[in-house]
Structure 1
């Protein structure tokens, strides 16, 4: 079986690539577990300075959860179990002891946006959009991304994005503070990422760890209750008939398109 991710280390940088372009890099549980395992395995590598997480192809960074797999998740208890496992996978990215850059090769939607938000910084291709569109399926954020979003841009703007299900262009995402850098038209994402991380390469690994430790302290502060609320409300929303109706509409649209 082909691995859902590819992992390499070059020049002190851990590169993790979601390798499911035919599925728009949908985040199956196996994919999430593989991402977590890659970051956990590299956490103690003392020569690393940072990590870059991206997706294969140029359409999607990650399209969200794998709908075919998620169709088997029935009821509030099963939904909470699934969300807890996925949240732990994203926590491995979030808690990595070095800065993690999300290189958005394409759209980051739903759970894909949550994965992007688990990273410390985001660099986007010129066409890569981001959107918390979970409401289209009658559900909430589930994997810690809603908490990250609220903390990064504040509750008012986070509520705007989630309740309006807005999909932001790179320019709008940058203006709102979600993107740290974007590739100009005609510039490759790889070039934009290299330009962004260039100054970081000159830092000592122990200094990069020290910087990340301070950031992690703030990200973890009083987070437990927000994570609990997010997971609890996700379970309720998943078990609600509105979610089933939304999934049926989406699947019927997919079959007829």
Structure 2
């Protein structure tokens, strides 16, 4: 079986790629575990300056959870267990001791948006959109992304995105502060990413670790209660009949005519 994540380390830059383009890089538990393992294993490399997390293909950075797996999750207790497991993987990304850049090769929606916001910075292809659209399935954010979104853009914009289920294009996402840089039309994501990361290559690794340590200290402040609240609300929403009805509507839309 093909490994869901491909890693490489070149010139002080760790690159981790979700390699499931045929599934829109859906975040199965095995994929999330592989992402966490890749970050955990690389954390001890003394010569690292920055990490890049991206996806294969050009359509999706990372879809939400794997629908086949999620269909087996029944009831509030199972939903909370699933969310807790997945949140540990995204926590490994957040806690990585060096800055992490999400290179959005395609759309980051739902759980994919949560993964993108677990990273410290985001560079997007000219067509890559982002959206917290969990409400379309009658559920909330589950993997810590709600807290990340509110801290990054403020409660007003965060509530706007989540309650309206907005999908932002790169220009909108940049204005809101979600994207640090965007490839212009005709410029590849690789070129835009290299331009963004190039100054970081000249930094001393210990200096990069120091910068990240300060950011991480602020990010962790009062985090536990936010995570507890999000997980509890997600479990309740998952077990609610509104979620079942939303899933049924989605599956009916996917059936061939």
- For the superposition of Structure 1 and Structure 2, which TM-score range results when normalised by the shorter chain? over 0.9
Deviations 1:217-236 (A, max 9, x none): 00000110000000000000
Q: Which residue of 2 aligns with 1:67?
A: 67
Deviations 1:181-215 (A, max 9, x none): 00000000000000001100000000000000000
Alignment of 1:192-203 (within 5 A): 192-203=192-203
- Offset, 1:255: 1.6
Give the CA deviation at 1:63: 1.2
1:215-254 equivalent positions in 2, closer than 5 A: 215-254=215-254
C-alpha displacement at 1:88, in angstroms? 0.4
Partner of 2:53: 53
- Partner residue, 1:121: 121
DSSP-derived class of the 2:8 partner: strand
CA drift at 1:68: 1.1
CA deviations on 1:139-163 (whole Å, 9 max, x unpaired) are 0000000000000010011000000
Residue in structure 1 matched with residue 143 of structure 2 by the alignment = 143
SS at match of 2:203: coil
TM-score (norm 2): 0.99
- Per-residue CA shift, 1:71-127, capped at 9, x if unaligned? 000000000000000000000000000000000000000000000000000000000
2: CA distance between counterparts of 1:26 and 1:253? Answer: 19
Paired residue total: 257
* Deviation at residue 256 of structure 1 after TM alignment: 2.5
**Secondary structure of 1:2's match?**
coil
Equivalent residue number for residue 212 of structure 2: 212
Distance 2:63 2:27 in 1: 7
Output aligned runs, 1:180-199, within 5 Å: 180-199=180-199
Structure 1 residue 246 displacement after superposition: 0.6
CA distance in 1, matches of 2:120, 2:68: 30
Counterpart-to-counterpart distance in 1, 2:91 and 2:252: 34
Q: Tell me the distance in 2 between the aligned counterparts of 1:27 and 1:223.
A: 23
How many angstroms apart in 2 are the aligned matches of 1:124 and 1:242?
33
Q: CA deviation at 1:19?
A: 0.3
Aligned partner of 2:83 in structure 1 is 83
Distance 1:195 1:7 in 2: 21
What's the Cα RMSD here?
A: 0.6
Measured in 1, the distance between the counterparts of 2:217 and 2:3 equals 33
Please state whether the residue corresponding to 1:41 is helix, strand or coil: helix
Name the TM-score, length of structure 1 as normaliser.
0.99
